[in-house]
Structure 1
């Protein structure tokens, strides 16, 4: 299997990368960890024009985005994250046509059958139970993330969140999202250096604002520095080219009932570590 890696938001680059043996375009609805937004409808048009399949990983945006309605042929989710929501299992799902899914399970040559990717019934029933609250949880994750993103951007911290007008993919997100579920529960914050990032995450964990962990979609806020964790396999020069700085922290915002209190406590951590200057804070 040969793979061409490219910026999925550059539609010309996607089209130019298609070769005679290309079978599939694969992307994330919202990318990890930079939260770039894919134009799924446009990618679908490119795929159909070239007789390709479009596969979309929608882990970061369940309910917020419905890739199948935008033209995706295959939709993938990590059930471990938002869909399960309780960080107590590892699971995934591949969605497609009946023919495609039966092909995966074919006893002779189906990848799902041959590679053994079958979820046990206890875990499956637990995830199905937790899915009953997904619509409520996604609304709250998004509401809390929007509040923190707006306030920290106003304070002068560099924030990336699709719900901000400063986000390059904001209008694309607005065009393809289901508005009642908001812009998702993930934000990134750049605090300038890995030392600052580690100090901030440790202090926030100490003050019970969440957990230093690489997962997401939990009911508590989770934070990690992608450059030294989930994206550490990417060479440093490529990380810099992508804009994945050492000081970048990825936050999966939890279901806090009093998000204003959370904001004040997080801001106090930033002030105590001199990451945020009190003079920059706008009242």
Structure 2
């Protein structure tokens, strides 16, 4: 098999192989250096200052670009810094269509920061292609989608969105955090730019912050933003994300296996009103998910019957941690209404389903029986 034909799992374990370490290190070395020595005038080793380039970060960027099937990758200090760099591609009076169901921090960035700089946004149910098309204006420059969305697990048809975007000569930007390139590769479905909170599944251990961009367009512009604003990922954190990616495939398979069993258990639980998980055949968007992904992931949201259940149950969890974030090996349960999505106005939250009875569960790799027993003990008071 040629180097160019290595499969995803192999690339995850072995990295990009763009540059072999001169001493033969199997694990990419951590180049914990802010600056690099020159051998003489105009004689650079290719590395000058770590804000511009660093060998450890470069290996991560090359690896994630290969995994997503993109032309170039960029690693940032957080997921929000990565989104910020993408939004900086636009200028005042540009218009962006955004998934109405999305992470609260992304909503806050659009509404409280970039709106004051003249970036216009329209929030749309991007699972409805007709609504998306009706929202396109003369000044529309991009469609920004989350799929599966956070936290309602809405599934947007990426191919249809990208076809629509190309017809109007606008960009498609996809936040691929929930599935990672192991389960979904938006660039191969026509998207132009993919974003990740690398903190989540790519890192996988709840121990570091990171943001990732993989792009097929505006590569030089994104690189300029990265270098100029300086929100780059440190060498050590780059190494942690690389280490996390090595086990991405086996982690996601185990997490998904657990999530399928838990989603079915929740569907039978008397205290649970509704379960949102793309792997359930009754889930709206299931057929699209089967078409465009190789897995359903391990994120589950579910609505309980009464608000009072929330406060009581969150105190009872023992195996599952009540904490923000997602994607790590430890299972985490989150209350989006006052945690991850508090920045979104209450009327919007209620309209799209982020009610005060909704919980979001990031399923880890623990024994699934322990997780179900913990859910049973906590929910069935």
The answer, yes or no, to whether TM exceeds 0.5 is yes
Q: SS of 1:5's equivalent? A: strand
The correspondence for 2:175, drawn from 57, 71, 78, is 57
Name the structure 1 match of 2:232: 118
Task: Say yes or no: does 1:165 pair with 2:286.
Answer: no
Name the structure 2 match of 1:189: 302
Q: SS of 1:30's equivalent? A: coil
Task: Say yes or no: does 1:174 pair with 2:286.
Answer: no
Structure 1 runs (4+) deviating above 4 angstroms are none
- Give the CA deviation at 1:75: 0.5
1: CA distance between counterparts of 2:219 and 2:237? 20
- Give the CA deviation at 1:56: 0.2
Task: Say yes or no: does 1:263 pair with 2:372.
Answer: yes
Q: Which has the larger radius of gyration?
A: 2
The correspondence for 2:205, drawn from 64, 75, 86, is 86
- Give the CA deviation at 1:100: 2.5
**TM-score scaled by length of structure 1:** 0.88
- Give the CA deviation at 1:66: 1.1
2: CA distance between counterparts of 1:195 and 1:270? 11
The correspondence for 1:23, drawn from 131, 141, 157, is 141
Decide which moves more: 183-192 or 262-271: 262-271
Task: Say yes or no: does 1:40 pair with 2:150.
Answer: no
**TM-score scaled by length of structure 2:** 0.66
Unaligned 5+ runs, structure 1 = 274-283
1: CA distance between counterparts of 2:241 and 2:370? 31
The correspondence for 1:225, drawn from 335, 348, 351, is 335
Whether contact under 8 Å (2:259, 2:299) holds in the other structure is yes
- Give the CA deviation at 1:259: 0.8
Name the structure 2 match of 1:104: 222
Whether contact under 8 Å (1:159, 1:190) holds in the other structure is yes
Q: Cα deviations across residues 145-180 of structure 1 (Å, max 9, x unaligned)?
A: 1100012202342211000011111111011111xx
Decide which moves more: 229-238 or 44-53: 229-238
Q: SS of 1:244's equivalent? A: coil
The correspondence for 1:7, drawn from 125, 143, 148, is 125
Name the structure 2 match of 1:203: 316
Name the structure 1 match of 2:324: 214
Name the structure 2 match of 1:251: 361
- Give the CA deviation at 1:14: 0.6
- Give the CA deviation at 1:211: 1.2
2: CA distance between counterparts of 1:45 and 1:121? 38
The correspondence for 1:241, drawn from 343, 351, 372, is 351
- Give the CA deviation at 1:103: 2.2
Task: Say yes or no: does 1:77 pair with 2:206.
Answer: no
Q: SS of 2:218's equivalent? A: helix
Q: SS of 1:26's equivalent? A: strand
2: CA distance between counterparts of 1:133 and 1:53? 32
Unaligned 5+ runs, structure 2 = 1-118
- Give the CA deviation at 1:238: 1.4
